[in-house]
Structure 1
Amino acid sequence: MLGLGGPYYHDASACLVIDGRIVAFAEEERFSRRKHHKDSRSCAVAAAYCLAEAGITLEEVDEIAIAFNPTWPTPSDTCTDAELIAELLDPALFGHHRPRQVTVIEHHLAHAASAFHPSGFDEAAVLVVDGSGDGVSATLAHGTTSGCKVLRQFPFSQSLGWFYETVAEHLGLGDWTSSGKLMGLAGYGNADRYTLDFLTPTAGGYHLDLSRYGIHPDESVDDQYTDLRYYRRLKAAYAAAYTDLGIPPHLRARTYTGGRVVPDTGYRPEHADLAACVQRLLEQCLTELAREALTLTGTTRLCVAGGVGLNCSANGRLAALHGVEELFVQPAAGDAGCAIGAALEVALRRGDLALPGTVMNTAALGPSFDAGTIRTVLGDYGLAFQDLGEDLPTAVAGHLALGRTAGWFQGRMEAGPRALGRRSILADAQHTGARDHINARVKHRESWRPLAPVLLSDAAPDLIGTSTPHPFMIVARQATDIAREVIPAAVHADGTLRPQTVSPDDTDPYARLLASFAEQTGRPPALLNTSFNHEAEPIVCTPRDAVATFAASPLDALAIGPFLIRKGRP
């Protein structure tokens, strides 16, 4: 089964499922090198990769599923629009094969399936919250061995995702793709300063009423959805609401240094205070939704997906919610992850997937490159390198212990926006200077953006206060006193961190790196970890991507396959 995600001209992706198991997944941006693959919904290169990984052709795929309804609001189970299908899957990449139809999986059902089907749970409450898809912005569902049953939905006119992104845009943090910055800024603010009385958490959910700004919650707006008229009205209403608080729209200055755009990375106290207020309000609304989902389903397990599911701080609040004993958040929670849900959902319907299915305990589902291929690339660039083989983790740990920063390129590329030890930038988490260096000079981004720790699971109780696995760096935890002392660069201003835990494993270079770092320093097996890219590009995918980003940055070393490259020397 081939699932295609990102139907709304961003975050296109593809996922291949065989016999109920995810064989491959990748986002199109990693190949196009255009962040979020904006302004296109072609999934062709990602799909071609997935098929190549399995050694099959498009003609051999039993069923193709898309994660949206092109005829919304008219219900539809299939799409036979040849032009649309060709837009998604360019025939030139598939021997000019043109599928005659694709299966339609409603957008929020695809999100729900992406969270529940690979969770390993036989039953769970499912919460999906995003900007909007197929006219819906939030869904409560019940996941069982029969699949996901929708219990309640909120229309696009009640969108929490759009609410959150408009604040980020109002504060000059960027467009909708930059909403995550607001989460980081919130840690510096006073959440009690402002009252946003147009959004009210209520028992069982929340209520949004922008009547005083010209948008009434009970007006009929379906005809304004697909042409974005409602979205534009909504943005204007929110801008007026935030301006009424005494915070006018902020346009951050940009300067140019050596041909590079340098953003204004400062912020005003009122900006941080609004961010904190909005983050807390979002968490309150999500908490009410989760409580309702748990009550309706009678379960103690919760699955989360949708773009808002990428909010680590909110996920931390949900993980601590009374009644939640187990939490699974899809690591590719945004629209790209819909490819996973769409493929798994059609596999379930065809009888190729039995629930509970295989647990998704890794996001390493993308392309990998053997040592020979990497060596050829390094030779093409004329780079001096050492072939360290099995000794690579020990050597890299030694460089990190000396305060150096390294690019880390190993194995299959990760799914989702978080680096998980396959395409990472690593440093010593004891030194806040390393964090500031990465933000300012490597990533060229705001100094207040948090970086995350990766740690061996043996150290988790001491550093994050729990032995519960955190494989995807998507749930925030309160830092322990020990964490504040030994990995302060990974602790955010609000006292939280968003950890990735790794099981000790002598066959895993990432785990061996952490263990060697602890052995060489006498400190816990923990490092600072962020995605291997600069601010304006997607995470690196290929060896050429890695070399180009390494060369254009002040990183000290690049560990790629078994090879180690140092700036200016082997």
Structure 2
Amino acid sequence: MGFVLGLGGPYHHDASACLVADGHVIAFAEEERFSRIKHHRHSRSAAAAAAWCLHQAGIGWSDIDEVAVAWNPHWPNRCEYLTDEDVIAELIGPHAHHAGGPRQLTVIGHHRAHAASAFYPAGVTDAAVVVADGSGDGVATSIHHGTRTGLHTVHEIPFTQSLGWFYQAATTHAGLGDWTNAGKLMGLAAYGRPAIDLDFLRPTRGGYHLDLTGYGLAPSIDQTARYSDFSYYRNLHRTYSKAFTDAGVPAQPSAGYDTHRGIAADLAASVQLLLQQCLISVVTTAVKETGASAVCLAGGVALNCTTNGILARTPEITSLFVQPAAGDAGCALGAALELAHRRGEYTMPGPHQTHALLGPAYDNHAIETALHAVGANYTTPPDIAAAAARLLADGRVIGWHQGRAEAGPRALGARSILADPRTTALRDRINRDIKRRELWRPLAPSMLDLAPWTTTPDGPAEFMIVAHDATPQAQQHIPGVVHADGTLRPQRVTPDNQPTYARLLHAFEAETGIGVVLNTSFNVPGEPIVESPADALRSGARLGLDALVIGDYLTIPPQNTTR
């Protein structure tokens, strides 16, 4: 059996590892889940994620045929292999490096890795593949043609034309935080009017054009020397601050619970609309130039559910696949699959990815050990799904920890906080009292059947990454998961992939007549999604959840037994 390992996150954030065996994904994990540092910021190390991938397969470093990294450390020069021992030790950990780890890593370009993460799991043999992010290896947006022979790059747009950095800068200017909070801007956009003219960015027939010359940053000047030391990035954010201010939007103070009206919301709406127009233009160009009607998306910008929803409803696009781990962590998946394809170990077309449950799971012994370590009282109901459904129907908010962890930033019923979607009161309680964040943040639904709830029930809905228009029935009966713009971002749950979660939904439907639950990520503010049972118990206590379901075990904190 041939094993290849992909590594992501060499830009000091979102480190990850993915193991592929004979072309099949065996394991994927993000380093943040082990380090408990969100995005695993300020480190390249994917040591814990890589070690877990090998452990999951029952192999050692000597069994790995080749390791790929989604990064060219010598950009703008070409580089096929990374041989710097210090950097390799930084990526996989010094212990692994000295215990038979690789002495050479195959370099897969950053955007090529993103593109591979979207194309190979899409299960198609002809696709327009678009990657849009902040920047990687000097590229901000790229178009590729995916065929039976692999990926062929059509266009690359440089970092000086970054849609991702534009969106990040607007997030900061609106008082919503740094680049890790870009999703807030998308949620806030629903409350504003796109009335602010940001004339420095415009969609064009072939894509888009960004020109900040009027603010002292001309796109025609070669900025290559200032890319690697981040001085261009810092200057860009200062330039954007001036551009937004000149457009009539002074820098906003840190957003609070009630920041969903006024100038910040209008900026969010204006930026969101402009991003949509530009990305749709890029995708339209990709479809025309490749002649393909299937579209695959990756890169951080591909996490924009609103834009994805518009693309999914575009008549010229016959199918849309968005990699659930669309951010930089997903590059480990793409690097591994691209390497497997080059080695002749990946057969086209591969299977269509229908779930993201690729991370660690924990058996009953591990769960009981964690419960005993904190002195938790617990029960083992004969049907844990039915017991959880009764709690939800009774208005409880529960932590749900089941099976293998999800890949990507969306909780998909493996490491989730669940509640009854029939009321906005529970949505508000989760945002205000549990997650302690802005009240206007949308929460998403997991459901058995899309037909009653969305106007496009056959659209892509595996990963809560595509917005659907809500039906009147959804707005009336599950308002807790319908956003202010009349959309929801659903997850369609299937018994084949998530049998316990599907049973929960069936049981909740038997209790309430609604086969939908409100689902948000199981994490405390500022931390990654929980990974282990110990993480779940610790975070559940800090969040004040009414109950925790971990595998077959139910624990209700003493203070919540009479809620």
Same fold (TM over 0.5): yes
3-state DSSP class of the match of 1:279?
Answer: helix
**From 9, 14, 23, the counterpart of 1:11:** 14
| Equivalence map 1:280-291=2 (5 Å) | 280-291=273-284
| Equivalence map 1:548-567=2 (5 Å) | 548-567=538-557
1:503 aligns with 2:506: no
Q: Distance in 1 between matches of 2:329 and 2:287?
A: 26
In structure 1, what is the equivalent of residue 303 of structure 2? 310
In structure 1, what is the equivalent of residue 394 of structure 2? 402
3-state DSSP class of the match of 1:4?
Answer: strand
Alpha-carbon spacing, 1:161–1:77, altered in 2? closer, same or farther (3 Å): same
3-state DSSP class of the match of 1:387?
Answer: coil
**From 218, 228, 231, the counterpart of 1:229:** 231
In structure 2, what is the equivalent of residue 217 of structure 1? 219
In structure 1, what is the equivalent of residue 370 of structure 2? 377
Q: Distance in 2 between matches of 1:517 and 1:214?
A: 58
1:420 aligns with 2:415: no
Alpha-carbon spacing, 1:109–1:507, altered in 2? closer, same or farther (3 Å): closer
2:330·2:408 contact (CA, 8 Å) conserved in 1? yes
Q: Distance in 2 between matches of 1:276 and 1:463?
A: 23
**Percent identical across equivalent pairs?**
54
The structural deviation recorded for 1:460 is 3.2
In structure 2, what is the equivalent of residue 244 of structure 1? 246
Contiguous gaps of at least 5 residues in structure 2: none
The structural deviation recorded for 1:120 is 0.3
Q: Distance in 2 between matches of 1:12 and 1:558?
A: 29
Q: Which amino acid aligns with 1:340?
A: L
Q: Distance in 2 between matches of 1:322 and 1:118?
A: 23
Q: Which amino acid aligns with 1:209?
A: D
Residues 74-96 of structure 1, C-alpha deviations (whole Å, 9 max, x = no match): 10111101110000011324663
| Equivalence map 1:59-138=2 (5 Å) | 59-93=62-96, 96-138=99-141
Alpha-carbon spacing, 1:506–1:359, altered in 2? closer, same or farther (3 Å): closer
Q: Distance in 2 between matches of 1:203 and 1:491?
A: 34
In structure 2, what is the equivalent of residue 360 of structure 1? 353
The structural deviation recorded for 1:264 is 5.5
1:440 aligns with 2:432: yes
In structure 1, what is the equivalent of residue 315 of structure 2? 322
1:505·1:512 contact (CA, 8 Å) conserved in 2? no
In structure 2, what is the equivalent of residue 199 of structure 1? 201
2:34·2:531 contact (CA, 8 Å) conserved in 1? yes
1:91·1:98 contact (CA, 8 Å) conserved in 2? no
1:521 aligns with 2:512: yes
Residues 391-411 of structure 1, C-alpha deviations (whole Å, 9 max, x = no match): 000011011001111000000
Alpha-carbon spacing, 1:461–1:147, altered in 2? closer, same or farther (3 Å): farther
Q: Distance in 1 between matches of 2:456 and 2:108?
A: 40
The structural deviation recorded for 1:202 is 0.5
The structural deviation recorded for 1:103 is 0.2
In structure 2, what is the equivalent of residue 535 of structure 1? 525
Structure 1 length normalisation: TM-score?
0.96
Q: Distance in 2 between matches of 1:319 and 1:80?
A: 42
**From 442, 450, 456, the counterpart of 1:465:** 456
1:124·1:301 contact (CA, 8 Å) conserved in 2? yes
1:14·1:50 contact (CA, 8 Å) conserved in 2? yes
1:287·1:321 contact (CA, 8 Å) conserved in 2? no
Q: Which amino acid aligns with 2:138?
A: G
The structural deviation recorded for 1:553 is 1.6
3-state DSSP class of the match of 1:24?
Answer: strand
**From 27, 30, 35, the counterpart of 1:27:** 30
The structural deviation recorded for 1:354 is 1.3
Q: Which amino acid aligns with 1:124?
A: A
The structural deviation recorded for 1:217 is 1.5
2:249·2:263 contact (CA, 8 Å) conserved in 1? yes
Q: Distance in 2 between matches of 1:268 and 1:516?
A: 39
Residues 218-256 of structure 1, C-alpha deviations (whole Å, 9 max, x = no match): 111111100111111111111001111222212327xxx
Q: Which amino acid aligns with 1:69?
A: N
Alpha-carbon spacing, 1:420–1:188, altered in 2? closer, same or farther (3 Å): same
Runs of 4+ in 1 over 4 A off after TM superposition: 504-507
Give the aligned length.
557
Residues 411-441 of structure 1, C-alpha deviations (whole Å, 9 max, x = no match): 0000000000000000000110100000111
Structure 2 length normalisation: TM-score?
0.97
Q: Distance in 2 between matches of 1:266 and 1:301?
A: 39
1:125·1:293 contact (CA, 8 Å) conserved in 2? yes
Q: Which amino acid aligns with 2:266?
A: D
Q: Distance in 2 between matches of 1:265 and 1:445?
A: 10
Residues 238-282 of structure 1, C-alpha deviations (whole Å, 9 max, x = no match): 1001111222212327xxxxxxxxx56534511101100100100
Q: Which amino acid aligns with 2:555?
A: I
3-state DSSP class of the match of 2:235?
Answer: helix
1:58·1:94 contact (CA, 8 Å) conserved in 2? no
2:524·2:542 contact (CA, 8 Å) conserved in 1? no
The structural deviation recorded for 1:505 is 5.3
3-state DSSP class of the match of 2:76?
Answer: coil
3-state DSSP class of the match of 1:513?
Answer: helix
Q: Distance in 1 between matches of 2:354 and 2:155?
A: 29
1:332 aligns with 2:325: yes
The structural deviation recorded for 1:507 is 7.2
Contiguous gaps of at least 5 residues in structure 1: 254-262
Alpha-carbon spacing, 1:507–1:111, altered in 2? closer, same or farther (3 Å): closer
Q: Which amino acid aligns with 1:527?
A: V
Residues 480-509 of structure 1, C-alpha deviations (whole Å, 9 max, x = no match): 111101110100011111110112459701
The structural deviation recorded for 1:377 is 1.1
Q: Distance in 2 between matches of 1:464 and 1:513?
A: 25
In structure 2, what is the equivalent of residue 145 of structure 1? 148
2:89·2:97 contact (CA, 8 Å) conserved in 1? no
Q: Distance in 1 between matches of 2:497 and 2:326?
A: 30
Alpha-carbon spacing, 1:509–1:308, altered in 2? closer, same or farther (3 Å): same
**From 293, 297, 300, the counterpart of 2:286:** 293
Residues 532-555 of structure 1, C-alpha deviations (whole Å, 9 max, x = no match): 012211000000000001111221
**From 150, 173, 178, the counterpart of 1:170:** 173
Alpha-carbon spacing, 1:108–1:99, altered in 2? closer, same or farther (3 Å): same
RMSD: 1.4
Alpha-carbon spacing, 1:278–1:506, altered in 2? closer, same or farther (3 Å): closer
